[in-house]
Each structure stands twice: as C-alpha cells, then as structure tokens.
Structure 1
Amino acid sequence: MAETGRVLRAEWTKISSVRSTVWTLAAALLVTAALGTLISALTDHTFDDLSRRERLTFDPTLTSFAGIALGQLAMIAFGILTVSTEYSTGMIRASLAAVPRRGVLMAAKLTVATALALLVGMATSFLTFALGQAALGEHRTDLGRPGVLRAVFGAGLYLGLIALFAMALTWVLRSPMLSFGVLIPFFFMISGILANVSATERVGDWLPDRAGSRIMAVVDDGERPYGPWTGLLVMLLWIAAALLAGWAVLRKRDA
C-alpha cells in the first residue's frame, strides 16, 4: 500500500507539472461550454424555422452539448500527452527503474489521469448544461425532467472515458505523433463517415464514440439500435480491449 501511494503521488506530480496537459483540460471545459452556449442561442433564435419532425424530436439537453465534439478533441489530447510525454522525453526509463512492476505504474497513471479527466468532465457537463439551457430560453429543460440528470452526468462520464481510451491506445502506440495521427482521424473522420453512409452506418453505430455519446441524449430519435446504458457498455468494452492491448505492449516491450 505504501508503494502504491508513492507511485500515485509521483504520477500526480508528473501530470500536474506538465503545462500542456493542464491546458488541454482547461480547453475541454472552455470550448465545450462556449460552443454549446452559442449553438443553443442560435437554436432558440431559429426554433420557429425547424420542421415539424425536428420540433417533435428536439432534445434541449443534447443541444446544449453540441460543442462536446471539440471538447472531446481536447480530452483525447490530454490522454495522449499524459502517456506519450514519458516516451518522447525518455522519462519512461526512470519511471520503470523506480517502479519495476509495470502493472503498478500503468494502473497508477491511469487512475490519477482518469480521475482528473472525470472531475473536469463533470464540471464541464454541468456548466455546459446550465449555460446551454439559459441560452435556449423558453425551449429549455431542467435536471428534474426524466432522463436529463442521467444525460448530464453521462456527458461528464463520456469525456472522462474518452481520455481513458486515448491513454490506453497511447500505451500501445507510444509515439505522440503516431497517437495523434491515429486517434484524431478515427474520431473526426472515420467514425463520422461510417455512421453517415447508409452501407456502413450500422458499423459506425458500434464505434466507441458513437455508442458512448448515446448516454447524452434524452429524446430517442430511433436511429441507433440500443439505449443509453447499452451504448455506454459498448464504449466500456472498447476501452477494456484497448487497456488489455496497452498492458500487453508495456509488459513485453522495453522502454
């Protein structure tokens, strides 16, 4: 227990002392809240122009999270930098020398970084929801409505899990450039393309970001073959697979 405590404190020091990781978390909060508020305000202004079907399926909660795609980008960057910085600076050699039990090292880093990402994710989701609903005016909802609190809590959970997924894959790829080169196109190009092409949309529905983001919706548009908690479970299965792959690489390969 004493060793674990020391390793956790060391990982906290590493993460908190790297300016780039701190700024990425701040960017996640600011970008998500600002863009969500802006889109909510524009939606309120143009609500009368929506079609009848769009009004019937209008989801004020999900609308306030319209900026979460960019916040997700910042969380991915946080996850990548948290792991890859040690490899790019060569610090990983010192870390492994100080903590020979690689599983302890990996678990400590993931625990500290994920807790921090979840904390920022929750702050981001509740702030974004509050600002977005204020901007929606008479079209707003509140936390007391069915499914709304789950969706707001789920948005914060989603942001934290995205960071965890990025960390897990970075343990596999190790290089910051390679990690950014794989993860950013995956989430911002491949996933969207697969989900919006009729021949592949069912494949896209089962990708981690598409499945996990279902937790943020209150109104079911009928476009996905699962509910919010099932979607989150699919995302967790992706994360578990990535963590196992990361652990296998760390265990077998030298720094």
Structure 2
Amino acid sequence: MAATQVLKSEWTKIRSVSSTVWTLGLAVVVTVALGALISVLSRNDYDNLDARDRLSFDATFISFAGMSLGQLAMIVFGVLVVSNEYSTGMIRTSLAAVPQRGAFLFSKVLVATLLAFAVGLATSFLAFFVGQAMLGPYRAEIGDPGVLRAVIGGGLYMTLIAMFSMGVAAMLRSPMLSLGILMPFFFLISSILGNVSATKKIGRFLPDQAGSKIMQVKTPFADDTPYGPWGGLGIMVAWVVLALLGGYALLRRRDA
C-alpha cells in the first residue's frame, strides 16, 4: 500500500472513532475553563502577594493551569489512537493491509500527532487569551518577551504528551493497562516526586515536569532547575522518542 494511502487510512480511522474526537474536544474545554478559573482566582489574590511573589508573578503560566487536566484528555487520545485496534481485533486486518510494521505505526503516529498539534496549539492560544482577559490589569501581552514562545510551547507540550502516550500504548497494547499506568503516573506519581524534597531532583527530569518549563515566562524564586525552557522541552522529546522506539521494537517482535 502506498504511503499516501496508509496516511489516508489512518486519518479515516481516527475520524471515524467518535471517542477520539470527543476526547480532543474535552481537552480544549477543560484546559481553557480551568485556566480561566485559576486566572480569576489569581487576579483576586494579587493584592495579598508580597513584593517578591509579585516579581515572579507569571501571568502567562497561570493561564495554562488547565493543562494539568487537559493533558489527561490528550493521554486518552494518544492511547485510543494506538490501542483501539487491539481491543477490537482490527489490528490483524490492518497489519495484513500494511505488513511493514514501521510504516503502519509511524503513519498512525504522524497523523495523530498533526491532529494533536493543531488542537493543542489552538487550545494554548485560546487558554492564553481567555486567561489574560480574566487577569485584567495583571495580564501579559502576546508581544512581551518570552510569551509567544510559551504559548506555542503549550501546544507542543500537549502534542508531546499525546505522542508519549502513543508510544506507551504501542508497547502495552491494552487501553486499560496503558491508561492505568499513564493516568496515575502523570496525575499523582509525577506530582509527588516533584514536590517531595528527597525526590525533587529526580522528578524534574520526568516528561511532564521538564516539558512544562517551556510554558514559563518567569522563573520562580528558589528554582534551581538545571535547564531552561528549551532544555526542558528537549528532555520531554527524549522521553517521547524512547517511548515510540520501544513501541516499534515490540511491534516488530510479537504477533498481532
């Protein structure tokens, strides 16, 4: 099967599964709504901040507060894109049509990544503008130093979360097992490791914590992270590459 036909087939699969479309929609709504709420609360609390906290007040990053929940929807999207065929048994038909397993997997990942990036970038810009409107006099402007980088970075972050989930799902094949590992990992384990002093230096190198650095414009006080925004994104990219390579290696070795 020609490459263009494989890509078209994967696009049709994604578009025809309503759960993947609803999941992307949920990512947008949750990210923007929660970001707006946190922005309103931050605006009301601004007068209670001391001078040091006002200097590190990051209006841009505050508008991305909803990413913590929005990324969970992107995880579900990434898992469903890859593992849905395993749960329905369609994987045998797909591999019979596209016997080159590398072409099969990476065509699926490419189409899903482009869709995730489009949705992630739109979500990031929408969350920023809505959040800044809620912040009122404390808002940041898109032309301020570092802001455009942070907003585009928000879209990249959501995309990489989905790609990492695709790699894990390709390794595990089961949607329930994949979600059972990824959800607690990002929502609980990563937060605990990143906030406990004994494990903080390890937690900062996890994909979500490293990648979220790209969305920061101002560095909080007492932040001794040994990398900057692009370094953090690079660490997240490395995690994604490892997950996808692991998924590809296992797909080649085992039966459908």
Superposed CA RMSD in Å reads: 0.8
Q: Report the equivalent of 1:74.
A: 73
Q: Which amino acid aligns with 1:133?
A: Q
- Matched residues in 2 for 1:61 and 1:184: separation? 26
AA of the residue aligned to 2:129? A
Q: How does 1:53-202 map to 2 (within 5 A)?
A: 53-202=52-201
Pairing 1:229–2:230 present: yes
Following the alignment from structure 2 to structure 1, what is the Cα–Cα distance between the partners of residues 40 and 187? Answer: 25
Identity within the alignment, %? 60
SS at match of 2:2: helix
For residue 225 of structure 1, report the CA deviation from its aligned partner.
1.6
Unpaired segments ≥5 residues, structure 1 = none
Letter in 1 for 2:84: T
Determine if the alignment matches structure 1 residue 31 to structure 2 residue 16.
no
Which residue type is aligned with residue 251 of structure 1? R
Residue identity matched to 1:165: F
How far, CA to CA, are the matches of 1:51 and 1:32 in structure 2?
28
- TM-superposed CA distance for 1:11, in Å, is 0.2
- Compare 127-136 and 214-223 and name the one that shifted more: 214-223
Deviation of the 1:220 alpha carbon: 1.3
Counterparts of 1:16-27 in structure 2 under 5 Å?
16-27=15-26
CA distance in 2, matches of 1:182, 1:68: 19
Q: 1:52 Cα shift?
A: 2.5
Q: For residues 50 and 38 of structure 1, what CA distance do their matches in structure 2 show?
A: 18
Distance between the aligned counterparts of 1:238 and 1:84, measured in 2?
A: 19
Once structures 1 and 2 are overlaid, which stretch shifts more, 85-94 or 215-224?
215-224
Q: Kindly provide the CA deviation profile for residues 166-206 of structure 1, in whole angstroms up to 9, marking residues without a partner as x.
A: 00110000001100111011101111111111111000000
Distance in 2 of aligned mates of 1:225 and 1:24: 35
Q: SS where residue 65 of structure 1 aligns?
A: coil
Alignment of 1:232-247 (within 5 A): 232-247=233-248
Normalising by structure 2, what TM-score?
A: 0.98
Residue in 1 aligned with 2:212?
A: 213
Distance in 1 between residues matched to 2:30 and 2:137, nearest whole Å:
24
Mark the runs of 5 or more structure 2 residues left unpaired by the alignment.
none
SS at match of 2:205: coil
Q: Cα distance, 1:53 vs. partner?
A: 2.3
1:122-156 C-alpha deviation (Å, 9 max, x unpaired): 00000000000000000001111100000000001
Give CA-to-partner distance per residue, 1:85-127, whole Å, 9 cap, x none.
0000000000000000001101110000000000000000000
